[in-house]
Amino acid sequence: MIRFISFEGGDGSGKTTQLKLLESHLASQGEAYRSTREPGGTSLGRMLRKVLLEVGKKEISSPTELFLYLADRAQHVREIIGPALERGMLVLCDRFSDSTLAYQGYGRGIDLDLLRRLNQLASRGINPDLTFLLDCPVEVGLARIREQLKSIGPTDKSAKNEGRTGQDRFEQEEMEFHERVRRGFLELAHLEPGRFCVLDASRPVRQVHDQIKELVDRRLRER
């Protein structure tokens, strides 16, 4: 049964765009769903998101970063994801526990087995039934971000609400960091081929959406 869908991928891969397109499709079909994201799916999460992503003068240590993400996930599952699943809603999430493994594990070098145990604790054992991995070359994703930032003007309210005035902490990382994260996501997909669907995110947006829509529709019919 499909109840929980996560969207994963590196920076600039287009996962947020694809989640929103799927939202529109589900709404047109009358499907009951709840859409959310990490970090920032709760009021506490929005505060943590600002701390985690804004570029400040002081560096955040890897353990501090990890525990902030885990705190966000624990509150997110308790307040949003768990209750939605209990009500029988389909949950769409922009990033979940796989991002912790890819960014803090493969990217930062924190032990993967430790991260898996901490993820299970924070998520109360809740895992996605289906994960779309939006994969594209690192340089493609980062180029997209640069183009997006060029289009943000002084009156762009949505960008202002997101605190989006420049690259976030992760987008400013070195290319090798992003390559490690990408390799990490692909390794995770290789380990769980039954859950992951790897998509070539360098293709046109509508082509990727059509593939997602087709798979989700088929899985929903199987319920």
33-37: strand order across its sheet: 33-37, 90-94, 4-9, 130-135, 196-200
User: Looking up tokens 């289906």, which residue turns up?
Assistant: 130
Residuewise pLDDT in 10s, the chain (223 residues):
899 999 999 999 999 999 999 999 999 999 999 999 999 999 999 999 999 988 676 789 999 999 999 999 999 999 999 999 999 999 999 999 999 999 999 999 999 999 999 999 999 999 999 999 999 999 999 999 988 888 765 444 444 444 445 667 787 888 999 999 999 999 999 999 999 999 999 999 999 999 999 999 999 988 7
User: Rounded to 5, what percent of the chain is helix, strand, coil?
Assistant: 55, 10, 30
DSSP for residue 166: S
3-state secondary structure 17-76: HHHHHHHHHHHHCCCCEEEEECCCCCHHHHHHHHHHHCCCCCCCCHHHHHHHHHHHHHHH
Q: 145, 151, 128: which is closest to 36 by C-alpha?
A: 128
Architecture category of domain 4-221 in CATH: 3-Layer(aba) Sandwich (3.40)
- Per-residue pLDDT at 163: 47
Cβ contacts of 82 within 8 Å, gap of 6 or more:
124, 126
Rounded Cα distance, 123 and 119, in Å: 6
The residue among 192, 2, 198, 5 whose CA lies nearest residue 116 is 192
Token output for 88 = 């029988």
